[in-house]
Amino acid sequence: MRTVQGGVSREAGTVLLYDYGGVSMKRFFVPLVFVSILSMLCGTGCAGFSQQPVFTDIEGKDAEQIKLVKAAITGDNILQVYFSGQAELLSAEIFMPETGVTQLCTAEAMDISDDFSNSAAAAGHTAEYSAFALTPSAPIGIGEAFVLRGTVSDTAHSVLDFALPFEGVNTNPAKLRITEIRPLYSSKPKSEFIEFVVMESGNLSGITITNVGDKQNPHYRFPAAEVTKGEVVVYHWRSVEEGIRDELTRKIVSGGTQACPAARDFWGPYTSIPKRNANVILIKTRPGSDIQDAILYCTEKEFTKRGAASSWNDEALTQAAKAASASGVWHGGAALKNAVITAVTPSKSLVRNATAHVNKAGTWTLRDSKEITMGKAY
């Protein structure tokens, strides 16, 4: 009997992990249809695999013993796949949805470390799992979307077909510094924005802006785009005009009245975002990695309303503030009183002192609408 499997991803450290929890289902369509569906999913999902869909059991309880339990991609684009049971890899290939190109992978059995665990029940039972390292036969570009397709069997001769979406690892991430932010706005076509200066040249692929106060859509992951030191990058949280485009290269020019002629513009997919009077914004090379930069802020009105014992009043914000402080990118402390506390309004922005050597509340000033310098040289 054959089964087919896919899954949801998460990231940990420098290795991207995809934990499947042993979900499987019967094959019910031909491979080309399956790949087409994955290609459509990758149209947006490959910009951030943390939201990939999981394929669940559609045939009741008639699942096979062999299951895909975890997958990972290393910094050099070697793919690691883990299975329950004693598996034999029959085939593995990479499919590029954008070009239709297929390339074979060379496979090598992997030893499983004693501390391997896809669940609490798996701890100490590594003999019950199999793992393979798959090396693509040709280089994969930074941020390039692809699908790993393969087939394995076990000693009982059951067969599992799997297809997993990935993207090429960013081996040369850029480093960004927050220089200006307008965290509140309501009128179209203007939008909330965050401005950066590129501190180290590299690629933006996978660099993540986390708006911790947004409980529904907190993360934005930049697409693949090469940037150079000194360039200005502006991320607009909302897309509210026709003609806007991510400026993936210098030759691409975005339309829209809020596009910045002297900067590289990128646009969020949202038409609205929740208003947060107290918030933490984190910039990471990738989800789960080190923090590149951060800002903590609170409106004066909100801070006064909370009184002398004011706190973040939100566990996610509390932990994010502590992480920013512990990483050294935010100085002065993680308490709400250590955030930028000022009269933030929808018509004003917070601007960072370009000559300050540390990032803390005192290095940020408030500018009104006539002084906003979105997209201009830092």
Domain assignment present for residue 377? The answer is: no
pLDDT of residue 296: 98
Single residue among 147, 167, 187 that ends a domain in this structure: 167
One domain for residues 48 and 119: yes
Whether residue 46 contacts residue 322, with contact meaning beta carbons closer than 8 Å, is answered with no
Domain assignment present for residue 69? The answer is: yes
Instruction: Please check the confidence at residue 15 and state whether its pLDDT lies above 60.
Output: no
Position with higher pLDDT, 217 vs 155 = 217
Domain that holds residue 57: 2-167
One domain for residues 187 and 309: yes
User: 148: closest CA among 132, 167, 131, 163?
Assistant: 163
pTM: predicted TM-score of the whole model, two decimal places:
0.77
- State both tokens at 27: 């094959």
Position with higher pLDDT, 188 vs 231 = 231
- State both tokens at 248: 């993936």
Domains: count for the chain: 2
pLDDT of residue 369: 79
CA 373 to chain centroid, in Å, comes to 28
pLDDT-based confidence at residue 325 (cuts at 50, 70, 90)? very high
Position with higher pLDDT, 85 vs 330 = 330
Terminal C-alpha separation, the chain:
62
What average pLDDT does the segment 200-204 reach?
Answer: 97
CATH number of domain containing 257: 2.60.40.1260
pLDDT of residue 326: 97
pLDDT of residue 89: 83
Single residue among 167, 197, 228 that ends a domain in this structure: 167
One domain for residues 158 and 209: no
Kindly list the distances between the CA atom of residue 84 and the CA atoms of 73, 133, 170, in Å, as whole numbers in the listed order. Answer: 19, 15, 30
- Omega before residue 173 within 30° of 0, cis: no
pLDDT-based confidence at residue 282 (cuts at 50, 70, 90)? very high
For a pLDDT cut of 70, what percent of the chain falls above it?
79
* Cβ-based neighbours of 157, under 8 Å, separated by 6 or more: none
Domain assignment present for residue 276? The answer is: yes
Whether residue 138 contacts residue 161, with contact meaning beta carbons closer than 8 Å, is answered with no
CA 347 to chain centroid, in Å, comes to 29
pLDDT of residue 47: 35
**Bridge partners, 182 (sequence order):** 193
265: which DSSP letter? Answer: E
pLDDT digits (tens, 9 = 90+) for 95-115: 999 999 999 999 999 988 776
Instruction: Please check the confidence at residue 121 and state whether its pLDDT lies above 70.
Output: no
Domain assignment present for residue 376? The answer is: no
